[in-house]
Amino acid sequence: MEKRKLGNSGLEVSAIGLGCMGLTFAYGPATEHGEAIKLIRTAYERGITFFDTAEAYGPFENEKLLGEALAPFRDEVVIATKFGFEKGNARAGVDSRPENIRSVAEASLKRLNTDRIDLFYQHRVDPKVPIEDVAGTVKDLIQEGKVKHFGMSEAGVNTIRRAHAVQPVAAIQNEYSLWWRKPEDELLPMLEELGIGFVPFSPLGKGFLTGSISKDTKFGNDDFRSIVPRFTTEAMEANQALVDILKDIASQKNATPAQIALAWILAQKPWMAPIPGTTKLHRLEENIGAVDIKLTADELNGLDKAIEAIDIVGARYPEEFEKRSGL
């Protein structure tokens, strides 16, 4: 597996990581425990060294799962987790008070069965707490050896600059894919300027870019996508045009639409490391295979032009969720 460094931080990770949220949270019933352990360990055996979790994924169960699964090779992997929600509940509102950050760090260390957190993200910006206080608290945790690197998720450029001035930010984790390219406007140029790495989440459009979802797909009430505007029947029917483009390129490259979507991200910048999630071993193998697919400059330009001609239908989040974004 190719390795990449997240900006100037020196933090080296596999080119593709594993987003572990879906194993316990947001996409239907939790994966059976033994199967989840097997998937995580298979990811490591296949070269993935970058694992993403959060206290809110469960809450708490996802971190416990990773702590168990990664224990045999803890020193060979990078574990990223997150703080910033009240009592670890993503539905309860944000909480980045310094005392909560410290409390989460201590609890996460225990659940992850480790003595340090490699990458500690603020999950969402807390408008009630100055970002300088947040960055300063993480700086203290770094000096104490409990945290190695500071990250932020779904933060805006001005907030990132202010945080970075207090404690260098190693990585930003925001949504980015062929059907959500807003980071290209302001965020990516700033990250390049400051030497900050980028970790795209939902690089496969919450599964839509795999080509396995159609207008006839129905999501259960325990699947987050059931309330996402981009996953209404009408939106999925309209957005199918994007998947059709990926299928066409995939057929030419002896690949899958998901692999083309991931290869596109990998071709953007060497300091990007996407973290597609999955609960299935065959999808894990498919995602890993994207590292070996190289898109030429002509192919990238053609893909960009084809997608520019498509109007993506539907918001990426319900309004109440979008309000939590610091973008």
Q: What is the CATH number of the domain that holds 286?
A: 3.20.20.100
The pLDDT value given to residue 321: 79
Q: Is position 175 within any domain?
A: yes
Active-site hit among 57, 121, 176, 317: 57
**Beta carbons within 8 Å of 284's beta carbon, 6+ residues apart:** 18, 39, 42, 43, 46, 278
Place of tokens 């080509």: 211
Q: Would you state the pLDDT for residue 327?
A: 63
Of the candidates 182, 184, 189, 190, the residue with the CA atom closest to the CA atom of residue 163: 190
In a domain? residue 88: yes
Residue 327 placed within a domain: no
Mean pLDDT of the 78-88 span: 97
How confident is the model over 195-244, as pLDDT tens digits? 999 999 999 999 999 999 999 999 999 999 999 999 999 999 999 999 99
Would you say residue 133 lies in a domain? yes
145 domain residue, yes or no: yes
Q: Is the pLDDT of residue 323 over 80?
A: no
In this predicted structure, what is the pLDDT of residue 28?
87
Total domains in the fold of the chain:
1
CA distance linking residue 194 with residue 253, whole number of Å: 35
Residue 180, classed as helix, strand or coil, is strand
DSSP 37-50: HHHHHHHHHTT--E
Question: pLDDT tens digit string along 143-157?
Answer: 999 999 999 999 999
Q: Distance (Å, rounded) from C-alpha 282 to C-alpha 142?
A: 37
| Residue 226 domain flag | no
60 falls within a domain: yes
User: 106-145 pLDDT, tens per residue?
Assistant: 999 999 999 999 999 999 999 999 999 999 999 999 999 9
What pLDDT is stored for residue 21 in this prediction? 97
91-108 pLDDT per residue, tens: 899 999 999 999 999 999
Residue 57 falls in the annotated catalytic set: yes
Q: Which tops the pLDDT comparison, 154 or 28?
A: 154
Query: In terms of Cα–Cα distance, which of 85, 87, 183, 167 is closest to 129?
Result: 85
Quote the domain boundaries for residue 25: 3-204+269-293
